[in-house]
Structure 1
Amino acid sequence: MGKEYKVFCCTHIDTECFNDPLYTLLHTGADYDGKKYKNMLADNTGDNISNKKDKFDGLVTGLYWIWKNTNYEITGICSYRGYMSYDGKKPIGLNETKELFENKQIDFIAARAEVPMSIYATTKKYEAEIFARNMHNPFEYLREAVEYVDPAYLNAFDHVMYKGSILNCRHTFITRRKYFALYCEWIFNVMTKYDQILKEKHYQFSGYRFYGGIIEIMERVWIINNPINVLELPIIMITEQNVGYIN
């Protein structure tokens, strides 16, 4: 029997995802939204953090649900509008994904974007209220959390945050189950410790989906600190009208 493949397209509205057997819809933040959609999985079953959408973002509550409640051999996550593309014309499909994992021995397919400055400088410029409100660099506390969970990640963290300009963005990736589980265990351990530190410091959270943005940055830290075969692809955005790139 061949490997089982499934990528979950996260949504908060009643919609459709790209028509390919690789994809299935997942209503994320279902508890928080208080809505039910027919013929769609929801992230408020089993072991879940569905009611924490306001803090973590729906893609993150979905990530947790996939980790705790599914066991596909090759699995991943994206939004119902944003997909990785192998040919630059349409979202990557089941046949292409099988070719990459089974014949080219890829371990992790990640969305890639570049910013003009370091991640730290970009965040400070465009999310200035995070720093101004608390008069403290929130990434210093994040570094403390990383060191507590596993100090082997500190070099990768420092590079990504203060030197790097590449982002593995939008919580969009496909990987082998082994690496999916390892990544989720690491990132949720880091975020649990980070949450504890911020509360102890009486840090004022910067509104809706604060942790979602932090986790998006941290994916690259995990990737460059693990010796796996990674393929990075651009994201294309699909609407009813057109397909467009996000670089």
Structure 2
Amino acid sequence: MYMPLHVGAALHPDVLPDWVQDNTGDNISDRNAKYSELTGLYWLWKNNDSDYQGIVHYRRHFGTANRLTRITHRDHFDRVAGSEETLGLLEDSDIILPHKRNYYIETIYSHYAHTFPGKQLDATRSIIAERQPEYLASFDSLMAGKRAHMFNMFIMSREKLGEYCTWLFPILEELGERIDDSGYDAFNVRYPGRISEMLLDVWLNTRGYAYSELPVISPEPVNWAKKGSGFLLAKFGGKKYAKSF
């Protein structure tokens, strides 16, 4: 079910030479510093013909819906959803997504504006208003809400993934033209990848596709104290994020 894919292979060709590389065929591998895992998504869209396609990350995977399995198996990878479970979900749903993330005391917009430059979302809204106005109501609703499907994790049919990518990548391309990132460091220049996490629900809610949700499993320890303190410092202390938690 899973195919390891080396993203950003054009920038780091010697890191994982035995894996499938995202710098073959039609690709944007050299944009990985900005697009993060989206260079892998683009490669999948343009070069893979599997009936169902999607992406997860080395730090995040879809967990099984079986709560007992998640509790009793100590190995994180034993808790990951497999092909039988995901195919079963796709019989009744168009797309598989992670459970929504809830920001509780922040809207999606205010959280981003506290942690990164809000002008990036403002520019994204302008692009959608100009180029895809039928998606604007969904964008505004998402920005005003507190919950969203994050992390760029999903599984869907090849046709729907193609539809999503055809919509997504031109928006990100235009965003790159409008944002002057010449002064950004390596962490902040990844804004197209971050913005795309919020655009998935904009597309999904406008199209009206049915979806199922699965929990997210992290094979690495998560420092919730650092995540929580970073969140609060951003909201109440005006301190932008400078690294991932």
SS of the equivalent of 1:195 reads helix
SS of the equivalent of 1:225 reads helix
Higher fraction of helix: 2
What residue number does 1:110 align with? Answer: 97
List gaps (5 residues or longer) in structure 2: 71-78, 228-245
What residue number does 2:5 align with? Answer: 26
TM-score with structure 1 length normalisation?
0.78
Within the candidate set 35, 43, 50, 1:56 is matched to 35
Deviation at 1:36, TM superposition (A): 4.5
What residue number does 1:213 align with? Answer: 194
Q: Could you tell me how far apart the structure 2 residues matched to 1:210 and 1:188 are? A: 13
Q: Give a deviation string over 1:50-86, Cα, whole Å, max 9, x none.
A: 11111111x1111111011111111110012311222
Q: Could you tell me how far apart the structure 2 residues matched to 1:227 and 1:52 are? A: 31
What residue number does 2:132 align with? Answer: 150
List gaps (5 residues or longer) in structure 1: 1-21, 132-136
- 1:24-173 maps to which residues of 2 (within 5 A)? 24-57=3-36, 59-85=37-63, 86-88=65-67, 89=70, 90-102=79-91, 105-111=92-98, 112-116=100-104, 117-127=106-116, 130-131=117-118, 137-161=119-143, 163-173=144-154
What residue number does 1:177 align with? Answer: 158
Q: Could you tell me how far apart the structure 1 residues matched to 2:25 and 2:15 are? A: 16
Q: Could you tell me how far apart the structure 2 residues matched to 1:87 and 1:226 are? A: 29
Deviation at 1:205, TM superposition (A): 5.0
Q: Give a deviation string over 1:81-115, Cα, whole Å, max 9, x none.
A: 3112222411111000111123xx21001122111
Within the candidate set 186, 209, 212, 1:228 is matched to 209
8 Å CA contact retained: 1:25, 1:80: no
Distance 1:208-1:195 versus aligned 2 partners, 3 A rule: closer
8 Å CA contact retained: 1:63, 1:77: yes
Q: Give a deviation string over 1:173-219, Cα, whole Å, max 9, x none.
A: 101111111111111011122222335xx886573312111111111
Q: Give a deviation string over 1:131-168, Cα, whole Å, max 9, x none.
A: 5xxxxx3322111111233110000000111x211121
8 Å CA contact retained: 2:90, 2:96: no
Segment drifting more, 137-146 vs 71-80:
137-146
Counterpart amino acid of residue 25 in structure 1:
P
8 Å CA contact retained: 1:113, 1:234: no
Q: Could you tell me how far apart the structure 2 residues matched to 1:39 and 1:197 are? A: 37
Note the aligned Cα RMSD (angstroms). 2.3
8 Å CA contact retained: 2:9, 2:29: yes
Q: Which runs of 4+ in 1 moved over 4 A?
A: 202-206
Fraction of identical pairs, as percent: 29
SS of the equivalent of 2:49 reads coil
SS of the equivalent of 1:48 reads coil
